[in-house]
Structure 1
Amino acid sequence: MSSFIPFDRSQPYLLPPDVKSWLPSDDVAHFIVAAVERVPLGAFSVPRRTGGKAQYHPRLMLALLIYAYANGVFSSRRIERATYRDIGMRFVAANLHPDHDTIAAFRRGNRTAIEAAFLHVLELARETGLMRLGTVSIDGTKIDANASKYRSIRYDRAKELREKLTADIATLMERAEAADATDTDHQALPEELARREALKAKLDEACARLEAEAREQAETARPEYERKKAAFDAKRGRRGRPPKEPDDKPPSDRQINLTDPDSKLMRRSDAHEYRQAYNAQAVVCAEGSQLILEHGIVATTADAPSFAATILGMEKRIGLPRTVLADTGFASGKAIGLLQASGVDPLVAIGRPMDRRPYDFRPEPPPREPRRITEPWRLEMKARLQQNPAKALYTLRKQTVEPVFGIIKSIMGFTRFHLRGLANVATEWTLVALAYNCRRITRLTAV
């Protein structure tokens, strides 16, 4: 006959339990609590109150957010629920239970503190010898925005809908005035009117934003146009086609999302569908630790425009790397020149490799004419990457930065931003990078 361990769910504790003793000694919660203690109070945005209920300590709130993101809990309501049900959350929150509004407001308003914690964690990694600034890898990944792609609208369609809504609102106003004159109670009219006015206000804002962006782009392109026009006017003989003056009006097919105007329609490649997303950038240590050393968010599919700014932004934070590895999406002569002028050696792939596995299951692709390369910097970079030691060093790129995105998406479960707007999304991406680094350091220092 089997024997069973007796149990009694109503058994009270003789002494208050120590929640810390229920966590393993190598749990990431211990590292997060110790790291957050190094963040100065001046980095937090704490509202001034002269009375009322006391506030939760900002270090407690930050540690709770980091631990939640490190364990795949991103919703403020789920974080609040976890402070009752999760032992690690109870320990980090010190048996307190901040409500979801407080958690959401803290996450939106404390970007400076989250950035400070990110840098302090890297300093801890530097002190333990985990962080090295020799060779780094950079890449970007598309992460869904907190908006549906079906809420995107073209500029020409937005103008058409504005005219239709203006007419509908005028009709509803006439019906409301007629109802007032005849003492008829039409309770549905105010709701219909408010709904149309709200949609028209969103469309007005979207059109104004697209028009402002078009004017800004035209002003930025005007000096280059003036230079080309002057060179064209100075020609003699066969003149050719004159340069086109930049247009300060948005194209009719330019799109904007009404839920999150900063996000854009993107896709990973020609084989993938378009999604409403942001392009999340990460610079990863390629010398063993795979820590995220720098991060950024851009609202463009292309990686090249932000390449130099992301790497050079490290100088005032943790220092510049010696070598940076990047794929062909970062190939930009201007960015490579800026990095080399600052003492950084970029190794950037030129064109996509055509090598196939010996027994590839896929059929042979049709023969394609290779792209003709004429720029000197591209020819020089391509020749360099075909020889050692640059060729051997470049092989580290794929095995260092891409697994980081895999861990963030598949292990931590972060596949969608929960905040809206470029500034708020940048704050959340910093929080994700911080949570990943805490997990990684805990794993590397575990005995």
Structure 2
Amino acid sequence: QVLQVARENRLTQFGRVSLDGSKIHANASRHSALSYGHAEALEAHLKAEVQQLLALAAQTDGESVPDGMSVPAELQRREVRLAAIAQAKAKLEARAAERFAEEQAAYEAKLEARAQRAVVTGRKPGGRVPQPPTPGARPTDQINLTDEESRIMPVAGGGFEQCYNAQAVVDTASLIVMLPWVTQEVNDKQQVVPMLERLQALPADLNQVEQAVADTGYFSANNVAACAQVGIEPLIAMGRDAHHPQWSERFSEPADLPADATPVQRMQHRLKTRKGRAAYALRKQTVEPVFGIIKSVMGFRQFLTRGLDNVQNEWTLVCLAWNLKRMAVLCA
């Protein structure tokens, strides 16, 4: 509805968008995280203590029990902790099973692709043979006991914190957020297809997005092809540009594309043109300032709620507040 109001007031045409993400602290501390390996060690330690307490309780004289100590209370305390650890381990094992299913599917797809290349070329494919994934939870797999759906993520400035990855599709002309969502994925590469699906679900009376700009964290050949399939021109950086390029590069144009160019080659050519460079340069002055103002001016640096669904609603509310604030400025 806010986007429709912006369109009716001719604040923007919604033709070009920028996509980016920012890590926002969860309502949980990374010190509340429990790894699978530590959970197993702690579980063994607590079980040993339970056996000691049971042996102490079996003594009839009671002389070995320290003053003020209640053996049943100590046993109950450890049983509660053991139950919490067992629940955390079960959730980590369920995550590991989902991960293994995805990795197994990718492994089988790679084997199939190698087999097809062998049939086409008539010789054994080169390169390293794909290794099958290992089932089960890893010792380093972690779960947060405060907000189990948050994840430990690298943050700007170095270090790791318990966070969610907040995404936003921002209109480059008006800085209005068209699509807000939250993901548990640290890597942004998996967010292009969800963006395209959400764009297709917007009201039909909004203008169709024609161009999407994103940094190198979103680049993959599949993402470029997915944008092309829905009629959106992708401008996704394929790597980091060198600082202080030769002055002549600013005024140069690339050689013509071959007729059989792939979608990635066409995008790479587009990024090297003067028009493409100018369009990509808009990314830093659109979506990044939106995150900066939300965090530094509006003061939103940490979620108040817990759980992915609640955090998604909270981020949507924050972006709604930003949109209203931005539209008030544009209408002034």
TM-score by length of 2: 0.82
What is the deviation of 1:417? 0.8
Distance 1:237 1:344, change over 3 A: closer
| SS of equivalent to 1:389 | helix
| SS of equivalent to 2:185 | coil
Amino acid across the alignment from 1:311: L
What is the deviation of 1:180? 11
Q: 1:160 aligns with which of 14, 23, 41?
A: 41
For the 8 Å contact 1:218–1:247, the answer to whether it is kept is yes
Amino acid across the alignment from 2:159: E
Distance 1:132 1:192, change over 3 A: farther
What is the deviation of 1:188? 5.1
What is the deviation of 1:389? 1.7
What is the deviation of 1:376? 5.5
Which runs of no fewer than 5 residues in structure 1 stay unpaired? 1-119, 359-374
Q: 1:306 aligns with which of 153, 166, 191?
A: 191
For the 8 Å contact 1:214–1:248, the answer to whether it is kept is yes
Residue 30 of structure 2: aligned partner: 149
For the 8 Å contact 2:182–2:311, the answer to whether it is kept is yes
Residue 136 of structure 1: aligned partner: 17
What is the deviation of 1:421? 1.4
Q: 2:241 aligns with which of 353, 370, 374?
A: 353
Q: 1:284 aligns with which of 146, 152, 170?
A: 170
- Output the CA distance in 2 between the equivalents of 1:246 and 1:207: 20
For the 8 Å contact 1:122–1:131, the answer to whether it is kept is no
Distance 1:246 1:337, change over 3 A: same
What is the deviation of 1:237? 7.8
What is the deviation of 1:404? 0.5
Amino acid across the alignment from 1:433: C
What is the deviation of 1:384? 1.6
| SS of equivalent to 2:163 | strand
Residue 385 of structure 1: aligned partner: 271
Q: After superposition, give the CA deviation of every residue in 1:360-400 in whole Å (9 maximum; x if it has no partner).
A: xxxxxxxxxxxxxxx96544433321113222111111101
Residue 442 of structure 1: aligned partner: 328
Amino acid across the alignment from 1:213: R
Residue 106 of structure 1: aligned partner: none
Amino acid across the alignment from 2:154: R
Distance 1:179 1:438, change over 3 A: farther
What is the deviation of 1:153? 2.6
Residue 245 of structure 1: aligned partner: 132
Distance 1:433 1:175, change over 3 A: farther
Distance 1:383 1:238, change over 3 A: closer
What is the deviation of 1:122? 2.3
Distance 1:153 1:179, change over 3 A: farther
- Output the CA distance in 2 between the equivalents of 1:229 and 1:335: 22
Distance 1:405 1:237, change over 3 A: closer
User: Cα RMSD between the aligned structures?
Assistant: 3.0
Distance 1:159 1:392, change over 3 A: same
For the 8 Å contact 2:46–2:78, the answer to whether it is kept is yes
Residue 257 of structure 2: aligned partner: none
Deviates more, 1:340-349 or 1:196-205: 196-205
For the 8 Å contact 2:147–2:306, the answer to whether it is kept is yes
- Residue 221 in 1 paired to residue 221 in 2? no
Amino acid across the alignment from 2:84: K
| SS of equivalent to 1:284 | strand
Structure that is richer in strand per residue: 2
Distance 1:188 1:321, change over 3 A: farther
Structural mapping, 1:85-124, within 5 Å = 120-124=1-5
Residue 8 of structure 1: aligned partner: none
State the identity as a percent.
38
For the 8 Å contact 2:228–2:263, the answer to whether it is kept is no
What is the deviation of 1:127? 2.1
Deviates more, 1:170-179 or 1:195-204: 170-179
Distance 1:338 1:175, change over 3 A: same
Structure with max Cα Rg: 1
Residue 294 of structure 1: aligned partner: 179
Q: After superposition, give the CA deviation of every residue in 1:64-118 in whole Å (9 maximum; x if it has no partner).
A: xxxxxxxxxxxxxxxxxxxxxxxxxxxxxxxxxxxxxxxxxxxxxxxxxxxxxxx
What is the deviation of 1:261? 1.8
- Output the CA distance in 2 between the equivalents of 1:403 and 1:180: 72
Amino acid across the alignment from 2:202: R
Structural mapping, 1:397-408, within 5 Å = 397-408=283-294
- Residue 394 in 1 paired to residue 275 in 2? no
Residue 432 of structure 1: aligned partner: 318
What is the deviation of 1:203? 2.1
- Output the CA distance in 2 between the equivalents of 1:403 and 1:237: 53
Which runs of no fewer than 5 residues in structure 2 stay unpaired? 247-260
- Output the CA distance in 1 between the equivalents of 2:41 and 2:233: 51
| SS of equivalent to 2:274 | coil
- Output the CA distance in 2 between the equivalents of 1:315 and 1:405: 24
Deviates more, 1:317-326 or 1:417-426: 317-326
Q: After superposition, give the CA deviation of every residue in 1:251-289 in whole Å (9 maximum; x if it has no partner).
A: 2222222222221211135x51111111100011111x2
Residue 81 of structure 2: aligned partner: 199
For the 8 Å contact 1:350–1:381, the answer to whether it is kept is no
- Output the CA distance in 2 between the equivalents of 1:145 and 1:247: 30
What is the deviation of 1:213? 1.6
Residue 110 of structure 1: aligned partner: none
Distance 1:268 1:322, change over 3 A: same
TM-score by length of 1: 0.62
For the 8 Å contact 1:214–1:247, the answer to whether it is kept is no
- Residue 266 in 1 paired to residue 153 in 2? yes
